Amino acid sequence: MENFQNFLQSWPAERRAQGVARATSDKVLAALNKDTLQPADFLTLLSPAAGEHLEGMARKAHDLTLRYFGRAVNIFTPLYISDVCTNQCRYCGFNAKNKQARRHLSVDEAYAEARAIADMGFQHVLLLTGDAPKLSSPEYMASVARRIKPLFASVGVEVYSLTEAEYSLLIKAGVDSMTMFQETYNPELYAWLHPVGPKHDYGFRLNAPERAARAGMRSLGLGAL
Ligand code: SF4
C-alpha cells in the first residue's frame, strides 16, 4: 500500500523544481479555480508565477476556511502528563541526556490537573507525554483519557508515534484527535536532529497520521514545520 513516505519519495527535488519551472500565470489561475488540487497544482501555487496572484489565493483560502470551519476559534489547553523521555532530540529540553527532575503523573494526579483545567472553562484538552513507551505506554494514556473524558467535549493527544492498534486503543478510550509535528521532511537532517531513541525512525513518524486515520481518528493535526 502506498504511504506518505513513498509518496514523498516520488517527488524528489528535481521533479519539484521542474514543476515549479513549468508554472505560468494561466496555470496558477487554473489551479485557483479547481475544487481539488493535485500535487502539481500545489507546486504551481508555490512558484514565482503565483506571486502576482497572492490576493486571489488569500481570498480563496479565506472562503475555504469559512466553508469548513466557520468563524470558530478553537481554544484548547495542553496537559503534560509525563516529561520522561528516552530520545535525545537536539532542540528539546526534555532530551534524555538532560539531568533534571522529571514528573510522570499517576492517573489520579492527571485527573486532578484535568479537573482544574475543566473548572476554568476549557472544553478541549490535549494530552502530551515524552517518548518513553514503557512508562507512558498507550495503555497508560488510554487510562488517563478514559478517566478525564467526562470532563471535556474533546480529548486529543500529542504523543510519540503509535501503531494503528495503539491509536485504536486511544480512540476507544475517548481520544478524538491527534497532533503530530514533523520537524523536517529532509531525512538526513531528521537523522541528525534525532540521533538516538525511537524517534530516530523517520518513516515511522512520517506515517503516524496515516495510521491514526486508518484507526478511525476523527481529527488529525499536522504540524508541518
Ligand atoms: S521526543 Fe519529544 S519530548 Fe522527547 S526529546 Fe524529543 S521533542 Fe523532546
Spans of all domains in the chain: 11-69, 77-224
Backbone angles phi, psi at 155, to 5 degrees: -120, 120
Q: Give me the mean pLDDT over the 17-38 stretch.
A: 95
Q: What is the pLDDT of residues 52-82, one digit of tens each?
A: 999 999 999 999 999 998 998 888 899 999 9
Q: State if residue 159 touches ligand 1 by the CB under 6 angstroms criterion.
A: no
Q: What is the pLDDT of residues 165-196, one digit of tens each?
A: 999 999 999 999 999 999 999 999 999 999 99
Over pLDDT 90: what percentage of the chain?
Answer: 92
Distance CA 142, CA 155 (A): 11
Q: State if residue 166 touches ligand 1 by the CB under 6 angstroms criterion.
A: no
DSSP label of 91: T
More confidently predicted of 2 and 54 = 54
Report the separation in Å between the CA atom of 189 and the middle of ligand 1, taken as the mean of its atom positions.
16
Q: Which of 80, 82, 85, 200 to mutate to test the pocket of ligand 1 (most atoms within 8 A of CB)?
A: 85
Atom number, ligand 1, closest to the C-alpha of residue 197: 1
Q: State if residue 156 touches ligand 1 by the CB under 6 angstroms criterion.
A: no
Contacts of 37 (CB under 8 A, 6+ apart): 31, 45
Q: State if residue 94 touches ligand 1 by the CB under 6 angstroms criterion.
A: yes
Distance CA 159, CA 1 (A): 25
Q: What is the pLDDT of residues 194-203, one digit of tens each?
A: 999 999 999 9
Q: Does residue 1 have a pLDDT over 70? A: no
Q: What is the pLDDT of residues 79-124, one digit of tens each?
A: 999 999 999 999 999 999 999 999 999 999 999 999 999 999 999 9
Instruction: Quote the pLDDT of residue 75.
Output: 85
User: Is the CATH number 3.40.190.10 carried by domain 77-224?
Assistant: no
Q: Which of 89, 97, 98, 181 to mutate to test the pocket of ligand 1 (most atoms within 8 A of CB)?
A: 89
DSSP label of 104: B
Distance CA 187, CA 35 (A): 32
Instruction: Quote the pLDDT of residue 76.
Output: 86
Give the cell for residue 85.
523521555
